[in-house]
């Protein structure tokens, strides 16, 4: 969420976050007097990607300095991620050289400035003052269009993915769609691209699948969507790529068909949740670059899932150049697990966005009853975590009202 522009900050302290493997780097940037009367303050340092993301989210600095010439992390992939954590900050890269490749990557991830050594502090001060001034002008121009409590696009496409099967991805996707419907009271669609897993959990049987559109997908309209969609009792519209699973005769759905259906859905639905099949090595990541949020789900106790998820995170950070948010959802998490949360985050090089507690018996019972957890056990710890996930994804404020009353669906499917 964008911070309100404070006119008192036109002069005063400019807070810097320095991202460099060396702890004493960028000392010369501290206490730098800028044209106009502002003075810089190096308020936080980070030596790794994970610590940088945490610091950016907590501090919300005015300027983020990222070192280019080091081997500890990919500076441009990190810059892309940092832009999501502190969107109002100025992103400044610092390096020994600036070849065309680095400049192109810097521009792609939203850099405001690229400083080249040797540094002339007077020129640095002028450059920082310039980018801060331009950023503030941009934020001021956006103010009239900002909502009072949250800022978000007109639509959201939320891709739910995993690097391995059995992560609980479809459970998260199906329940997230229902939570979004409950919390926002807006139109929500769920695309089951995982060969019917989400539909099975919702006890739905689509008559037609997206795969049947074939070349007509490019011309998909609301009438065609109505033939594909099945409405769940929660009000969520559900579409599936396939109506049945046949390992001998199940053609893959074309990425173009999924893209066309997603584009049409977002014309009239506020939220589109996509339950993707488990990502395989060699799979195209281009589709993910078109989403607004990517939720990577993994089982907290699965060491192989942690390894594969880290590789997928690294690939996604290089692919997602549109400002989409990559978030990690730790499913089946317990404080008694052999791997603690800090170690998991360190191995993934990403902070956990939400942790969903390990309550397998509850989830299994809900699935057996043909109801998602959000409807079958709305007061459970699992439902509370998914409700938190829904609110955080769309930038809604956390609940401060009285405890939620238990709600049951009018009809059981």
Please tell me the predicted confidence (pLDDT) of residue 58: 87
Q: Residues 6 or more apart from 6 whose CB is under 8 A from it?
A: none
Q: Is the pLDDT of residue 30 over 90?
A: yes
Question: 76-95 pLDDT, tens per residue?
Answer: 888 888 887 888 899 999 99
Please tell me the predicted confidence (pLDDT) of residue 356: 96
Q: Give the pLDDT band of residue 303 (cuts 50, 70, 90).
A: confident
Q: Position of tokens 């832009």?
A: 83
Q: Give the pLDDT band of residue 331 (cuts 50, 70, 90).
A: very high
User: Residue 208 corresponds to which tokens in the numbers above?
Assistant: 């037609």
Q: How far is CA 349 from the centre of its chain?
A: 15
**How many helices and strands in the chain, by DSSP H and E?**
13, 13
CA-wise closest residue to 143 among 2, 11, 14: 2
User: Residue 43 corresponds to which tokens in the numbers above?
Assistant: 């308020």
Question: 215-252 pLDDT, tens per residue?
Answer: 888 888 999 999 999 999 999 999 998 888 776 666 77
Instruction: Give the residue-averaged pLDDT of 245-265.
Output: 79
Instruction: Give the residue-averaged pLDDT of 158-174.
Output: 91
Domain 7-145 belongs in CATH node 3.40.50.2300 = yes
Question: 336-362 pLDDT, tens per residue?
Answer: 887 888 888 888 888 899 999 999 999
Dist. CA 34–CA 344, nearest whole Å: 41
Residue 267 host element (H or E): helix 255-268
Please tell me the predicted confidence (pLDDT) of residue 411: 33
Residue 294 Cα distances to 186, 255, 319, 343, angstroms? 20, 17, 12, 22
Instruction: Give the residue-averaged pLDDT of 397-408.
Output: 42
Q: What is the DSSP string of 338-379?
A: SS-HHHHHHHHTS-EEEEEE--HHHHHHHHHHT--HHHH-TT
- Max mean pLDDT among 164-168, 191-195, 280-284, 389-393 falls in 389-393
Which one is predicted more confidently, 411 or 98?
98
List, in sequence order, every residue forming a beta bridge with 190; answer none if it has no partner.
238, 273
Please tell me the predicted confidence (pLDDT) of residue 256: 81
Please tell me the predicted confidence (pLDDT) of residue 362: 93
Dist. CA 194–CA 297, nearest whole Å: 14
Which one is predicted more confidently, 129 or 244?
129
Please tell me the predicted confidence (pLDDT) of residue 65: 95
Which one is predicted more confidently, 301 or 31?
31
Instruction: Give the residue-averaged pLDDT of 30-45.
Output: 92
Which one is predicted more confidently, 109 or 297?
297
As its CATH architecture, domain 156-393 has 3-Layer(aba) Sandwich (3.40)
* 0.85 exceeded by pTM: no
Q: Is the pLDDT of residue 2 over 60?
A: no
Domain coordinates in residue numbering, the chain: 7-145, 156-393
Using the 8-state DSSP alphabet, how is residue 405 labeled? P
User: Residue 272 corresponds to which tokens in the numbers above?
Assistant: 């589109």
Dist. CA 257–CA 143, nearest whole Å: 37
Task: Find the DSSP H helices in 96-216.
Answer: 100-108, 121-142, 169-184, 197-202
CA-wise closest residue to 196 among 238, 251, 225, 256: 238
Q: Determine what percent of the chain is predicted with pLDDT higher than 70.
A: 85
Question: 47-56 pLDDT, tens per residue?
Answer: 988 889 889 8
CA-wise closest residue to 184 among 159, 150, 161, 231: 150
Question: How many CB atoms within 10 Å of residue 34?
Answer: 19
The phi and psi torsions of 97 (rounded to 5 degrees) equal -140, 165
First to last CA, the chain: 38
Instruction: Give the residue-averaged pLDDT of 282-287.
Output: 60
Please tell me the predicted confidence (pLDDT) of residue 413: 31
Is 156-393 the same fold as 7-145? Answer: yes
Please tell me the predicted confidence (pLDDT) of residue 406: 38
Which one is predicted more confidently, 371 or 190?
190
Instruction: Give the residue-averaged pLDDT of 255-267.
Output: 87
Question: 133-148 pLDDT, tens per residue?
Answer: 988 887 776 654 443 3
Dist. CA 354–CA 391, nearest whole Å: 11
């Amino acid at each position: 969420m964008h911070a309100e522009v404070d006119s008192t900050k036109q002069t005063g302290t400019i807070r810097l976050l320095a991202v460099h493997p060396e702890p004493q780097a960028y000392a010369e940037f501290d206490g730098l007097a800028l044209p106009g009367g502002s003075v810089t303050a190096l308020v936080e340092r980070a030596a790794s990607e994970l610590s940088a993301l945490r610091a950016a989210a907590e501090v919300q600095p005015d300027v983020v300095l990222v070192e280019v010439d080091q081997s500890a992390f990919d500076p441009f992939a990190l810059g892309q991620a940092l832009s999501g954590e502190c969107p109002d900050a100025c992103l400044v890269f610092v390096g020994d050289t600036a070849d065309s490749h680095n400049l192109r990557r810097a521009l792609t991830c939203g850099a405001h400035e690229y400083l080249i050594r040797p540094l002339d502090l007077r020129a640095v001060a002028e450059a920082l003052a310039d980018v801060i001034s331009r950023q503030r002008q941009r934020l001021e121009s956006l103010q009239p269009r900002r909502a009072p409590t949250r800022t978000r696009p007109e639509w959201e496409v939320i891709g739910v993915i995993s690097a391995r099967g059995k992560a609980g991805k479809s459970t998260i996707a199906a329940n997230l769609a229902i939570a979004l419907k409950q919390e926002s009271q807006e139109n929500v669609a769920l695309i089951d691209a995982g060969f019917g897993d989400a539909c099975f959990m919702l006890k739905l049987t689509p008559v037609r699948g997206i795969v049947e559109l074939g070349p007509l997908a490019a011309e998909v309209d609301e009438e065609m969507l109505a033939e594909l969609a099945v409405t769940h009792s929660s009000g969520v519209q559900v579409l599936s790529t396939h109506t049945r699973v046949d390992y001998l005769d199940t053609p893959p759905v074309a990425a173009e068909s999924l893209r066309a259906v997603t584009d049409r859905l977002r014309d009239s639905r506020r939220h589109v949740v996509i339950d993707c099949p488990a990502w395989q090595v060699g799979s195209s990541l281009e589709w993910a670059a078109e989403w607004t949020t990517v939720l990577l789900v993994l089982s907290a106790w699965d060491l192989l899932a942690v390894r594969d998820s880290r590789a997928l995170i690294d690939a996604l950070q290089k692919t997602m150049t549109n400002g989409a948010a990559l978030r990690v959802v730790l499913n089946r998490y317990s404080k008694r697990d052999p791997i603690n949360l800090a170690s998991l985050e360190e191995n993934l090089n990403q902070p956990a966005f939400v942790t969903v507690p390990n309550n397998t018996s509850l989830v299994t019972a809900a699935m057996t009853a043909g109801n998602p957890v959000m409807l079958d056990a709305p007061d459970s710890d699992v439902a509370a975590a998914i409700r938190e996930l829904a609110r955080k994804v769309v930038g809604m404020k956390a609940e401060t009202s009285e405890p939620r009353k238990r709600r049951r669906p009018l009809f059981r499917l």
